[in-house]
Structure 1
Amino acid sequence: MSAIIRDLAHLAHIEMYTPKLDESARFFTEIMGMYVSAAIGDSIYLRAYDDYEHHSLKLTANKHAGIGHFAWRTQSPAALERREEALSKTKYAVGWHDGDLGHGPSYQFRYPSGHLAELYFETHKFKASGDSVSALKNTASKFPARGINVRRIDHLNLLAPDIRAFRDFQLHYIGGNLSESIVDNLEDMNPQAVWFQVNSKSYDLAVTADHLGLNGRFHHLTYAVNSREEVLIAADICLENGIFIETGPHKHAIQQTFFLYVYEPGGNRIEIANTTARLILDPDVETVYWTLEERKKGQAWGLATVPSFHTRGTPMPEEL
């Protein structure tokens, strides 16, 4: 077994494309309860109340929904240098970027699936002031008491045509541990989906098979709330505000996430979830494998997964 590369700290942010910038911004501020950190040109930067960085979501106006890029923060400047050295020897390296609002220089690269990503360490840590200061000194900013009140960015799910290639690239060049995986069967072990752990959370990135065989598509972004009850309340809030609910509230068997999936106005899938039921503290934990036959049993309590969850991603095929 190869040594686990532990140079990543966490999923840092995602740039999400939306054809309805103003409506998407209202969704994330009024429904999700997020704060606007900045608005520059065609982009709006947002953060949940306990995100410690300048932003965890960058909304950018675009003809179609989807993902622009996403970012990992590394454990240290030395960790960033190690990843740059490894990536620079591959055909997927893009190179250094001066950095965006809220963080310093980043090293950009593409995954085998075509997704653009970056690594950085230098970051602007949010400092609350005025009405945004929390009464709790260990919380990044004041509980917004608005909408769903999401607490922090949790994880990202991408679609890829070649899961094995994505898995091997992540583990060999970027880092983390394969916490769980869906395989066709326990004999062939062909991966159909993978979940990567980089800290004590059970995963920060999930990648599932794009059954259309397309590159660069987005499945969902997840923000965490404090309890299962808040996921149930989130469903009521979405119902009352005309937000389309795709599936849930319910519990995943894989990773045991208690979830709600909705579509934001731009067409991207968003998950509101309580994800802290399962932490991984074991430093040499073994990967949990699920077969396609086991997955046919549905989610944790037997509810079948809606077909669109397996087939719909952004951008849509006709938009590529």
Structure 2
Amino acid sequence: MTIKHEIAHVGHVELLTPEPEKSLWFFTRVMGLTEVGTEGDSVYLRTWDDYEHHTLKLTAHSTSGIRRTGLRASSREALDRRVAAIEAAGLGVGWRDGDPGIGQAYVFRDPDGHELEIYWESEWFEAPPELAPSLKNQAQAYPALGVCVRRLDHVNFLAAEVEPSTDFLRDVLGGHPTEQIRLDDGTIGGRWMTFTNKSYDLVYTRDWTRSNGRLHHIAFATDTREDILRAADIFLDNDVFIETGPHKHAIQQTFFLYVYEPGGNRVELCNPGARLILAPDWKTITWTEAERAKGQAWGLKTIESFHTHGTPPL
């Protein structure tokens, strides 16, 4: 049976940082997210066009990395069906009370060990007077601060092996692979998965260390390519390390810029543009190792650290 649209979208991520004050400065003052609450060692932040309570949970920790990724189901019935499928696959952890603004969530792991949660009940954000937008179809006013990223776009996990986790996303959660890299030995080195009409929501790429559960990057979308060019100057002025870009990916054709936030996690700014997957019978695009060796879309070679840097560090 083909599973379609049981996952509505990637809702939020919990990011770990050993530099909580500096990371909070980066995400609020430089990236332009809005702080909406605190709880223990965690701060809740949101992008201005997110309809939910928060987009990012930033948690102080002894090291960097990603703790959990939240997926919103498309209905209560879809949630129940996906939980049953996860339990049948033997990867369930169990129900927990959700974070602020989120109802009960079911926690599970992918075959590589990354922790995710799926939920349905979600509190729509109601802006206080100082954040109230002029347009009623917008969740909050445009912050006009720093980069002003619009929304969380995708998460790229590192995995010891790509295929078990992406097969799990396909068979249990209803994800569809839109593009992939097939290495010369026949194995999959990277796979881009979508739950929606977006070209990708979750990505798995092979961890060169063959470790489990690490993060490559989280990505935030901007309105335009020009926002990313402006962001490069903002990062420069704020002494934020730019790893690579601005440039254009060959895979998915995304305009990109990668930086490291102060806690060490890689963050991407991306502008996917108007590229949507509208074909219901989309056939996965496969890239060879030789094709990927040519570099990015306009000839820029992929920087070595892009293959070696992940969080938490080993």
TM bucket normalised to smaller? over 0.9
1:12–1:56 Cα contact (<8 Å) kept: yes
Unaligned runs of 5+ in 1: none
* Map of 1:248 onto structure 2: 245
User: Which residue pairs with 2:70 in the alignment?
Assistant: 71
CA-CA distance at 1:5 after TM superposition: 3.4
How many Å separate the matches in 2 of 1:273 and 1:89?
36
Residue matched to 2:232: 235
The corresponding residue for 1:225 is 222
Corresponding position of 1:41 = 40
Unaligned 5+ segments in structure 2 are: none
Could you tell me which residue of structure 2 aligns to residue 290 of structure 1? 287
> Aligned partner of 1:102: which letter?
G
Query: Is 1:210 the counterpart of 2:223 in the alignment?
Result: no
Residue type of the alignment partner of 1:108: V
1:299 aligns with 2:296: yes
Question: 262, 274, 277: which is aligned to 2:271?
Answer: 274
**Per the alignment, in what secondary structure is the counterpart of residue 277 of structure 1?**
coil
Residue type of the partner of 1:228?
Answer: R
Counterparts of 1:17 and 1:268, CA distance in 2? 8
> What amino acid is aligned across from residue 267 of structure 1 in structure 2?
G
Residue 172 of structure 2 is matched in structure 1 by 173
* Equivalent-residue separation in structure 2 for 1:245 and 1:259 (angstroms): 11
Q: CA deviation at 1:41?
A: 1.2
User: TM-score normalised to the size of structure 1?
Assistant: 0.96
Contact 1:201 1:276 in 2 (8 A): no
Contact kept in structure 1, 2:107 and 2:116, CA below 8 Å: yes
Task: Tell me, yes or no, if the aligned pair for 2:180 and 2:190 is still in contact at 8 Å.
Answer: yes
Contact 1:231-1:273 within 8 A present in 2 as well: yes
**8 A contact 1:5–1:171 mirrored in 2:** no
Q: How many residues align?
A: 314
Partner of 1:121: 120
- Give CA-to-partner distance per residue, 1:220-244, whole Å, 9 cap, x none: 0111110000000000000011000
Q: CA-to-partner distance for each residue in 1:150-195, whole Å, 9 max, x for gaps?
A: 011110000000111111111111122111111115xx64211011
Q: Structure 2: which amino acid aligns with 1:130?
A: P
* 2:143 alignment partner in structure 1: 144
Give 2:203's aligned amino acid.
A
Contact 1:86–1:173 at 8 Å: present in 2 too? yes
Counterpart contact for 2:3–2:173, Cα < 8 Å: no
Give the TM-score normalised by structure 2. Answer: 0.98
Amino acid at match of 2:112: S
**Equivalent-residue separation in structure 2 for 1:278 and 1:119 (angstroms):** 26
**Alignment partners' CA distance in 2, 1:119 and 1:276:** 27
Which SS does the other structure have where 1:88 is aligned?
Answer: helix
For 2:114 and 2:299, the matched residues in 1 are separated by 33
Q: Following the alignment from structure 1 to structure 2, what is the Cα–Cα distance between the partners of residues 213 and 176?
A: 24
Tell me what 2:189 maps to. Answer: 192
How far apart, CA to CA, are the structure 2 residues paired with 1:98 and 1:241?
Answer: 38
Q: Residue 311 of structure 2 corresponds to which residue in structure 1?
A: 314
SS in 2 for 1:199: coil
Return the offset for 1:37.
1.1
Residues 4-57 of structure 1 deviation map (CA, whole Å, 9 limit, x = unaligned): 432100001100000011110010000000100101110000011001111110
Q: Distance in 1 between matches of 2:166 and 2:40?
A: 36
> 1:91, CA displacement in angstroms?
2.4
CA contact (8 A) 1:69 1:115 kept: yes
Aligned to 1:159: 158
Q: C-alpha distance in 1, partners of 2:258/2:101?
A: 28
Matched residue SS, 1:310: helix
CA deviation string 1:190-217 (max 9, x = no partner): 2110111111110111110001000110
> Deviation per CA, 1:116-172, whole angstroms, max 9, x where unpaired?
101001001101121211112221111101000101111000000011111111111
Q: Aligned equivalents of 2:94 and 2:7: distance in 1?
A: 18
Q: RMSD of the alignment, in Å?
A: 1.1
Matches of 1:41 and 1:313, distance apart in 2:
26
Given that residues 2 and 174 in structure 2 are in contact (C-alpha distance below 8 angstroms), is that contact kept between their aligned partners in structure 1? no
Work out whether residues 4 and 177 of structure 1, in 8 Å CA contact, stay in contact via their aligned partners in 2. Answer: no
Provide the secondary structure at the position in 1 that maps to 2:236.
Answer: helix
- Structure 1 residue 264 and structure 2 residue 261: aligned? yes
Number of the residue aligned with 1:201: 198
Is the contact between residue 33 and residue 144 of structure 1 (CA under 8 Å) also seen in structure 2? yes
